[in-house]
Structure 1
């Protein structure tokens, strides 16, 4: 039993026609592929989480940028979906690369200020002489201790 529609509302139209199995068939457009956009998003997130490792930030960030650009182009052409995910993945990939650059600049500055170049030169000039290399290490450790107040101690042996 069906009831008439409330006043002011139109009557409902005919429903879908039953298909071969007695079930209604609905036409639905197949969903557009979003795999590349999802990959760009995931790699962008990984790049932002691992930018401080430098290698992880560069690797994940660059791939996220590349996949994000390709996915965005496909989404704009209408051949793929996930345009917003592609943009977010692209942005996160760029942020990861910028983070890597900042960490590298800061790390290089600290390394240079603490005498890292002098240490590398000293070890290179030692020509494999273990006594000279040990002396280079001791001088570098003393410089770190004097400059930053951090004592670098060798690991204690475990029994």
Structure 2
């Protein structure tokens, strides 16, 4: 049986009432208001993705990771906000990006400390722009890295 039965326009009792209180006319679509409140959740998700993409830059991972976590928590705690799944995903991605960035930062700092990079920067700062002292700092740093890792940074000239 089709609705309404053939030959019965309008159907008995009229057309059913649509959301919003207005009866739908034949061939007419009713307008539905879009869901509100997903903006914070979408923002958290986008920032979480950016945090993961730029976690290797350390600053990008930390900055975007913290922002994603903040927006994700606000979206989760907001009574009006929709998109709970988006907010949780953004929060998790932001935290993962933040953790990876911190780990990379700690490893890089340890490597720089191990190679004597802080000594090099101190030496360059004490040189006060004197080019011969800066070149001496560079050669000392290069020698230290070569000795530490048993590598040669500048190739030996071939005869």
TM category (shorter chain) comes to: 0.7 to 0.9
TM-score (norm 2): 0.75
Match of 1:49 in 2: 53
- Residue 62 of structure 2 contacts residue 102 of structure 2 at CA under 8 Å; is this kept in 1? no
Q: Secondary structure at the match of 2:139?
A: helix
Judge conservation of contact 1:48–1:96 (CA < 8 Å) in 2.
yes
2:35 maps to 1:31: yes
Is contact 1:16–1:26 with CA below 8 Å preserved after alignment? no
Unaligned runs of 5+ in 1: 3-13, 154-159
Question: How far apart are the structure 1 equivalents of 2:58 and 2:141?
Answer: 24
Please give the alpha-carbon distance, in whole angstroms, between the structure 1 residues aligned to 2:33 and 2:24.
20
- In the other structure, the counterpart of 1:130 is 131
- What's the counterpart of residue 9 of structure 1? none
Asked if 1:61 is matched to 2:56, the reply is: no
| CA displacement 1:100-119 (0-9 Å, x = unmatched) | 21111111110011011211
Task: Report the Cα distance in structure 1 between the residues aligned to 2:45 and 2:151, rounded to whole angstroms.
Answer: 40
Aligned residue number for residue 104 of structure 1? 105
| C-alpha RMSD over aligned residues | 2.7
How many residues were matched structurally? 141
TM-fit CA distance, 1:33: 2.8
Return the TM-score normalized by structure 1: 0.75
